[in-house]
Structure 1
């Protein structure tokens, strides 16, 4: 599983880079609600990525030991996404709903880009 952890660390760095860009955008532009929505969505997306990595590691360990595994935490990840959308609907002036949803998808976009970059560099 060391490769699995290094992949997560690399993806986490990319997401932190995006979050820092979003914070700069929030601080220095007039599109504060859009960038705040991106910050909220991306933060919860990073949390969801961390959750799935942790649950996958536990799942792999349980399979090796021959134990049963309850779930991979789908309900928890859906609940965090629902929380973000509910916050955006409750505070529409502060949080832009579309940017919150886009922020929630950020980890999946980062995973795909990371996969293509790694497969490109491994072919060389």
Structure 2
């Protein structure tokens, strides 16, 4: 198409690749916003649900752990479940970003602004 225009053909190709990358990054952002991960602590007594972007959406606590004398233990379990959910969210984001980078032919380790 732009064969006779020298470097402009390469520029058009680059622009098309950039548009494709932008489209895929927007789709990835949407996917990460709706993908859920669940962090747990206390052998499942406390569960924290978050999006893969790290937004906490739910907290489930087994009523059997509600005991006034063990308030600090419950608080620790809640924090541990949230931390686990956040770590899983980060891992999921990194995994999906790596996949997109590979798909786009980007060098390994090149960070995408997700």
Q: Please indicate the TM-score interval, normalised by the length of the shorter structure.
A: 0.3 to 0.5
Q: If the length of structure 1 is used for normalisation, what is the TM-score?
A: 0.40
Larger relative contact order, structure 1 or 2 (CA cutoff 8 Å, min sep 6): 1
Higher-helix-fraction structure: 1
Larger radius of gyration, structure 1 or 2? 2
Higher-strand-fraction structure: 2
Q: If the length of structure 2 is used for normalisation, what is the TM-score?
A: 0.43
